[in-house]
Structure 1
Amino acid sequence: MSNHYETLGVTRDATGEEIKKAYRKLARKYHPDVYEGADAEERFKEVSHAYDVLSDPQKRQVYDATGNENGTPGGFGGGSGFQGAGFAFQDIFENLFGGQGGGQGPIPRTQRGQDALITVRIDLRDAVFGVNKKIEVDTAVLCPTCQGSCCREGTTVQTCEICRGRGQVQRPVRSILGQVMTVTACTACQGHGTIIPDPCNECGGEGRVRSRKSLTIKIPAGVDTGNRIQLGGQGEAGPAGGAPGDLYVEIRLNKDAQFTRRGDDLYASMTVPMTAAALGTELTIDTFDGTQQIIVKPGTQSGEVSTLRQLGVTHLRGQGRGDLLIELVVETPTKVDAAQEELLKQLARLRGEEFTEGRLNTANGVFAKLRDKLGHL
């Protein structure tokens, strides 16, 4: 019996990955469809059997201990059957051939390109009315030299001589049932059935190149942060002239210095002097629709809201727009001169508010009257 380690050309302490690598190299070398020697089939069987033993931890342990893989519990001669041997055809095929199945024919070189996603930032005004925006995208585009053929000018793809265009090859595998044939992807052509003997210089045989292209996209009114716009066919070009994928544009709104968005409504605040809030006034505010007038009624309190209808964000789905809501913040003066202080005191006295030593006297006046009223309830 030949030494399995010598057959594969590895040492006795070789790792599983080293054993697999050695086997694949020898299997390609001695494959009957490639190797021209008269003993090609016998050598291929010997290499496959050595790998079958050394790639299985249990079989390898028995082999290292006894010098052969038979007549030991857990081996083929242990009488434990297929389950006892831990023998599964699917596992063998995946271990030997990387899980590549057969029977599906050659793999097309032409594939659909991947979808792409980019982020675009816009101002709040653009979300209110919509905007046409120019963007630049770094992506894969059809090779301008070969137009997706992948070949140098004047040349074409050729049928693979190893698999004869099938994209697959048959390989014998030694099993407990004897030698069986399995079908795997051809390694010479990577399963395509054809090879590119003279690839295009610009794309290297890919049929596409990286480039930057400019697009003008229409961003509809009403979009908000997180919304995505799908542009069909504007994604990456596919290999070998394949159809391009789609491009998705994700919207991000820039923060506005004046307005805050909540849904389709806009919010802002305006400061109103104390005297103007008490007497009433008319204010102006610059909006996305131009200058608007706000009526401040006499006696307006801080926190009251003035609503300007249909001056918010356009509804993304449906008609009309949201509202613009203005919160009025009454400003109380923090510093007053002597004349202003005297006027305020006079106003307080006229309103029944009494001052003692510069402070509001709560023993009399409106606060005392209010206390008396509450006490009689």
Structure 2
Amino acid sequence: MAAAAPFDQRFGLDRRVVLPGPLALDGGGSLAPVEIAYETYGALAPGADNAILVCHALTGDQHVASPHPRTGKPGWWERMVGPGRPIDTDRRLVICANVLGSCMGSSGPATTDPATGRPWGMAFPVITVRDMVRAQALLLDHLGIGRLAAVVGGSMGGMQALSWAATFPARVGAALVIASTARHSAQNIAFHELGRQAVMADPRWKGGDYDAAEPPAAGLAVARMAAHITYLSEAGLTEKFGRRLQARPDSPDGAKSFGFDADFQVESYLRHQGLSFVDRFDANAYLYITRAMDYFDLAEEHGGRLADAFSPATRFCLVSFDTDWLYPTADARAIVHALNAAGAPTSFVELSSPYGHDAFLLESPALDRVVRGFLGTGT
């Protein structure tokens, strides 16, 4: 294995690397070269045994604990990753890589096809979650990290954590899987197909060959609105918005327009979520990543029995939220049962939160305690 790349203590160190590959893909063929954008936090120990890989969700990126370069907003898990935080960068080297197929620097439909000199677009190969994990393994090889102390992820990040443990069990000391699943349900796939069809129905999509200056923003915004509903809970939406009407300059207390403007506060909120999303995400990347999530079926990859995906070589912690209807607690329990059958050391907790699936991204002292406790010993 190559000598470890030099790490230092600078917080939020942004890096990009082009690896020669080839990277074999589940769909057939291979990808070469492989470009990966990533960030590191903290320092690698002399024994290279303190690295934690944090895997991001569908619309996340490598900027886990530092400002997003496009929006200027704080990192998506800044409350969790940092000096003295549950994932403690005073003790750990934390790595977060932009997934294969995304649009924040890693190889994907928005990056340049070396054969044409133009963006890949829909000529980019369809990828899987396991392909994403294999690309991350190439990155760790480049960094000289043979074994991870832990891999951590929520939602699609949890899928990656599971796939890491199944694909490279000898390289993963512990896996922390939060608000995730071992495969998508028909309902999950249906919501993603709704979003994909919204993108592809936008006249600006042009079969995926759109100008970056004129993307299919309307379709992508609708896709984001539909998906965002699945990240919330009915109780949370009711508490935050109820049926309250949206204030306007001519109606400060809100009034029905008897038209199709955003009369209700929840309508205005969803429209804002959609419009702000298109400023930071690529439409084709959205298609590719949602397809990868829909294809994810860990049992299918291991002969149809989920327990066969796991090895006692890795220690696991599963976390679910009681109001998460996207990946409900039943999904986590199915994984726990498979882990028990495989003889893998496993802990599980269901946390209470009004915020639905998004709870893992929001302030949660209970989740902080679980993460700190699981990563504090034995990794």
Could you state the TM-score of these two structures normalised by the residue count of structure 1? 0.16
Could you state the TM-score of these two structures normalised by the residue count of structure 2? 0.16
- Structure scoring higher RCO (CA < 8 A, sep ≥ 6) equals 2
Give the structure with higher Rg (CA): 1
Higher strand residue share: 1
